[in-house]
Structure 1
Amino acid sequence: MRSSLPRGRRGPLIVVLVAVALLFGFGAAPAYAEPNEGGSKKLRDALAATAKAHIDATAKLDNSKRRQQALGAELKAVEVRLVDLTSQVGEVAAQSYRLGRLTSAAMLLESTSPEAFLERVVSLDTMAQRDGRTVRELTDARQAKRDAKIAIDTEVREQAKQVAVLAKNKKAAEAALAAVSSGSSSGFSGLSTTAKPAPRNSDGSWPAESCSVKDPTTSGCITPRTLHMLQQAQAANYKRYVSCHRSGGDGEHPKGRACDFAAATGGFENVSASGGDKAYGDSLANYLKSNASRLGVMYVIWYRQIWMPSTGWRSYSGGGSPAADHTNHVHVSMS
């Protein structure tokens, strides 16, 4: 259908429509989002590998601590049961010592009537079952105590192993960052909303996910965990322009495991954020860092700083431009 607008007025209208489409996430991503997530491919690969290894080791450490706690409670219950059973078996032994061994034949011969005889038969059987069961329970409880102690020792060794892995991952992450970082930085503080946790495996690890769900910010795809992070951030009122999936290249964007959040209300701008835009980015970066373990965040980059779970906040130099230095947008990569 032909437009009824005069030809001279169509140009400005098209510009407005394109701007609106970009603002709400339709069409190509706005300019000045970093084309390659900043840094070299080697750096990006190293950051992803060390962050993932740290997250996995942390999950294993936490899971081992939970198992140790459960085993400790089990051991305490067994020890209480042992005291009671040892006392019961001791009473049986003491009675036998005081009265001498009472044979079944002697008990039955002392019966004064057929009814008494039958009662004593039943009593003998009941006593034998009770005493035998008590001794077996004592033996089982002693074995359970030994097993619980062995299991606790195993968990302690597992924890020492994971602590060593965490230390190794921290060293590797710092080595990878050396090319773009001059050391620790102040980071971004403040109160943050608590995000709803993303689903985990029963052992506390993150499920393997592919780029399988529709990306609401582009025409591409993202992982379910990335979508959960995006939805939680938006629920926490971080609703400015976002762009997640990006076709081609490397890094996490093409895999559907990264999003860029514009600091400015109008989308990505080729200037460093200041004033309210800077405060918005600070707050968002702190939110993502504070909820990293709930959402599955690998690392966050904002305003010449990068946060990883193994290193905390570090200075970051991506190349000098607002996009490369991440001073116009917050970047988050997901596990």
Structure 2
Amino acid sequence: MTLKVPLRPRRSIAPALIAVFALVLGLATPAAAEPAPTAPPNEGGTPTVVTLRANLEAAAAGFIEAENQLNASKAKQAEYEAQLRSAEAEMARVRGGVAKYATEAYKTGRLGVISMMLSSSTTDAFLDRARAIDMMTQRDQGSLNTYLAAKKNATDSKIAIEAQIAEQAAATAEMQKRKTAAEKALAAAGGTATRTNVDWATLPTARPAPRNSDGTWPSETCSEDDPTPADGCITPRTLYMLNETHRLGWNWYVSCYRPGDKYEHPKGRACDWAAYPTGFVDKSAKDANKVYGDRLAEFFAKNASALGVMYVVWYCQIWQVGVGWHRYNSTGSKCGDSPAGDHTNHVHVSIY
């Protein structure tokens, strides 16, 4: 006699499968992964911080404008020095002929030339000598004119070089003035100087953003579409910085334009780079996330001249063009009290 084992109803398999799937999927829920991203950070801060940022923006812009004038003046000086070298070389080339002309004129004088012509035995000889003397006079006069023109060019070039040196001195003084203003603003807000913990030699070098022919930055407006989720406008130089930074490997979440906000975001001249891959997380970056932010912040500092960076804010510190890194406590007594305000969850960069 064969025993028959009763089969389990098919519907009993479904709960078991559901339970297995739930267990597997549960391992990938947000609770076990990175915290959910937040909205773009509110960088407001206290009135003291608002004043500090405004002062630093003015100081940075003034520093860069003075630096532009310095670079343009140096370029002009190089042009004038090239003109001076060319004029001096031309003077040296014709100096021998001019000296010879002067000697002959002194020896012969007008009577000597006339006597030589009158001593001709025939009319044809007289005319031939007259033509020869005329050609010699034209040649020598041409050399003399060339020499005098070269001498004038040399004199003008020297005067122009002296003017450029004076302009450079004024630009350098203005840069120092702006640097001092930034240092005073930072000191008033408790921003003591700090040191970097990233070796710049390990960071990539950015390709320089487009400049004017004299080395200055072109004036720009918020004229380009912001390709980040912020969906607004940014300046061409900010867009260049964005693309160049992406090209060199920093591809985590970034947001630029922000309407109605303080500082440079509504002007299209600033971007916030999250220290987390998917967005702004309301907690301070640690471990690999902090290393990402450290290196990104220092990348902007290293390539400030190439990209037109005014200042960088990261992890309770601010890097200002001309003055370097200083402490930056924006919201609370302890760094990280407010990840957004203290910039411990994102790197802020402002572009001139």
Q: TM-score, normalised by structure 2?
A: 0.80
1:266 aligns with 2:265: no
RMSD after superposition: 2.4
* TM-aligned CA deviation for residue 103 of structure 1: 4.5
Q: Give the match's secondary structure for 1:178.
A: helix
Q: Give the match's secondary structure for 1:268.
A: coil
Structure 1 residues 177 and 34, CA, compared in 2 at 3 Å: closer, same or farther?
Answer: farther
**Which of 62, 79, 97 in structure 2 is aligned with 1:70?**
79
Identical aligned residues as a percent:
44
* TM-aligned CA deviation for residue 263 of structure 1: 1.1
**Which of 327, 330, 333 in structure 2 is aligned with 1:318?**
330
The whole-number CA distance in structure 2 between the counterparts of 1:38 and 1:227 is: 27
* TM-aligned CA deviation for residue 294 of structure 1: 1.6
* TM-aligned CA deviation for residue 114 of structure 1: 5.3
The whole-number CA distance in structure 2 between the counterparts of 1:213 and 1:64 is: 31
Q: Which residue of 2 aligns with 1:4?
A: none
1:246 aligns with 2:258: yes
Q: Which has the higher contact order (CA 8 A, sep 6+)?
A: 1
* TM-aligned CA deviation for residue 234 of structure 1: 0.3
**Which of 179, 183, 189 in structure 1 is aligned with 2:199?**
189
For structure 2, the residue ranges without an aligned partner over 5 or more in a row are 1-21, 30-35, 332-336
The whole-number CA distance in structure 1 between the counterparts of 2:128 and 2:193 is: 83
Aligned residues: 310
1:307 aligns with 2:281: no
**Which of 38, 62, 76 in structure 2 is aligned with 1:31?**
38
1:334 aligns with 2:344: no
Q: Which residue of 1 aligns with 2:93?
A: 84
1:164 aligns with 2:173: yes
The whole-number CA distance in structure 2 between the counterparts of 1:114 and 1:267 is: 102
CA contact (8 A) 1:37 1:251 kept: no
Q: Which residue of 1 aligns with 2:149?
A: 140
Structure 1 residues 238 and 181, CA, compared in 2 at 3 Å: closer, same or farther?
Answer: farther
Query: What amino acid is the match of 1:199?
Result: P
CA contact (8 A) 2:44 2:50 kept: no
* TM-aligned CA deviation for residue 94 of structure 1: 2.3
Q: Give the match's secondary structure for 2:203.
A: coil
1:52 aligns with 2:83: no
* TM-aligned CA deviation for residue 31 of structure 1: 2.2
The whole-number CA distance in structure 1 between the counterparts of 2:127 and 2:276 is: 94
For the pair shown, the structure with the greater C-alpha radius of gyration is 2
The whole-number CA distance in structure 1 between the counterparts of 2:86 and 2:166 is: 23
CA contact (8 A) 2:60 2:310 kept: yes
Q: Which residue of 1 aligns with 2:8?
A: none
